[in-house]
Amino acid sequence: MGPKEIERRLDLFTQRLRDAGIKLTSQRMAIFRAIAASEQHPDAETLYRELKESCPSLSIDTVYRSLWLLAELGLVSTVGQRHEAVRFDVNLSRHHHFVCIRCGSIQDFYSPQLDRLDVAEEVQDFGAFISSQVEVRGICKKCETGTDQ
Amino acid sequence: MGPKEIERRLDLFTQRLRDAGIKLTSQRMAIFRAIAASEQHPDAETLYRELKESCPSLSIDTVYRSLWLLAELGLVSTVGQRHEAVRFDVNLSRHHHFVCIRCGSIQDFYSPQLDRLDVAEEVQDFGAFISSQVEVRGICKKCETGTDQ
DNA sequence: TTCTAAATAAGAATAAGTCGCAACAGGAGC
DNA sequence: GCTCCTGTTGCGACTTATTCTTATTTAGAA
């Protein structure tokens, strides 16, 4: 990924914010630039430390707000959900997760198609394979219909 | 899942702990019973509140310790990693994650096999499909070879 | 340039999770 | 069954992640 791609991402960010009538502050631009340039999947704290050098008055809160803003606009995705604690899963048979992005509920589902997957080979350059699981994100029935929580 | 399955899980837990020379305390048994009976993927706090009724002296710390113990023994899995903050991912092209369970690093990988998956139909009973992604867990090269972090 | 709603910084507050330590309790050996 | 020893627990303090509150600032429309 070269500077071209970074610029393309930044242009997309600014365009979407303009379209949504959201202000383009210097803090946001700096945060966008940092995440657009990142090859990794940084957390807010990491970006904050990085940006603090060139923008010492920046607050961590602004980093969080800007990143969740991007997430809400669909311009970045997240690993993990908002307000989420670690969950423990006693289901040891092979299964996959349907995660509701609104209420955070997780439902197991089973799929012969997915169980047949063999990704161990595909990831061997990264390291030793232990397990694989599909995470499907969506809006659960309850949240869709507005039935309580 | 009936009481049979719960008992089977509990037997497995107690057997594994005995084999590993780990004490079977009443707190652990209660926590095991609670997670073994859970259809959901509860977090520590939820189990704690549930157990507090029948065991008022229980501490949240013990719940965490017991659950991570089970996880280390491979008797439960987790949704999310230990010590993890939310991460933001700017890669919008379809990709999947290789997560190192030791250092927590995440690497993207691409896979035509996985991209061809169509799970939207399989999860339609749960709710509206938004996206799907494969999470592969393993030990990354760095951790495998002991090269620094 | 002025004005206003939106955004920010700072610090307090909350929530998730862990640590240190004194008291306690399985279970091995008798 | 009793004793002892080590692993375990509960508690309170602590850390870290994240959000809230509020006074101040600023982008961008007029």
Quick one: what percent of chain B has pLDDT higher than 70? Answer: 98
CB contact under 8 A, B132 and A135: yes
CA distance B57 to chain A (A): 22
Quickly state the pLDDT bin for B78 (edges 50, 70, 90).
very high
| CATH domain B96-145 topology | Dna Ligase; domain 1 (3.30.1490)
Determine which of A72, A86, A133 to mutate to test the interface with B (most B C-beta atoms within 10 Å). Answer: A86
Which pLDDT score, from 0 to 100, does residue B95 have?
A: 95
Asked whether strand C has any atom less than 7 Å from the CB of B23, the reply is yes
A60's enclosing H/E stretch is: helix A60-72
CA of A38 to C1' of C7 (A): 25
Residues B77-87, mean pLDDT to the nearest whole number: 95
Are the C-beta atoms of A138 and B128 separated by less than 8 Å? yes
Q: Which residues in chain B have Cβ-Cβ distances shorter than 8 Å to A31? A: none
Is a pLDDT exceeding 70 seen at residue B59? yes
**Strand D nucleotides within a 7 Å radius of protein CB atoms:** 7-12, 16-21, 26-28
In chain B, where does the domain assigned CATH 1.10.10.10 lie? 3-72
Rounded average pLDDT per 10-residue block, chain A, 149 residues: 88 95 97 94 97 96 98 95 95 94 92 87 94 94 76
Using alpha carbons, list the distances in angstroms from residue A69 to A48, A49, A57, B17, B95: 16, 19, 20, 46, 22
The torsion angle over the Cα atoms of residues B40, A90, B10 and B30, rounded to 10 degrees, is -60
> CB burial class (10 A; 0-12, 13-18, 19+) of residue B40?
middle
User: Nearest 5°: phi and psi at B81?
Assistant: -110, 170
Give rounded-to-5 percent helix, strand, coil for chain B. 40, 20, 40
Are the C-beta atoms of B99 and B106 separated by less than 8 Å? yes
| 3-state class (DSSP) for residue B77 | strand
Q: Which residues in chain A have Cβ-Cβ distances shorter than 8 Å to B133? A: 134-135, 137
| 3-state class (DSSP) for residue B107 | strand
Q: What is the CATH number of domain A3-72?
A: 1.10.10.10
Q: Which residues in chain A have Cβ-Cβ distances shorter than 8 Å to B127? A: 98, 100, 138-141, 143-144
The torsion angle over the Cα atoms of residues A18, A22, A26 and A31, rounded to 10 degrees, is -90
CA of B63 to C1' of C26 (A): 18
Is a pLDDT exceeding 60 seen at residue B3? yes
The b/e string for A47-85 (b: 16+ C-beta within 10 A; e otherwise) is bbebbeeeeeebeeebbbebbbbbbeeebbbbbbbeeee
Per-residue pLDDT tens digits for B22-41: 999 999 999 999 999 998 89
Query: Which of B36, B109, B111 is closest, CB to CB, to A126?
Result: B109
Report how far residue A78's alpha carbon sits from residue A71's, in angstroms, rounded to the nearest whole number.
7
In chain B, where does the domain assigned CATH 3.30.1490.190 lie? 96-145
Mean pLDDT taken over chain B: 93
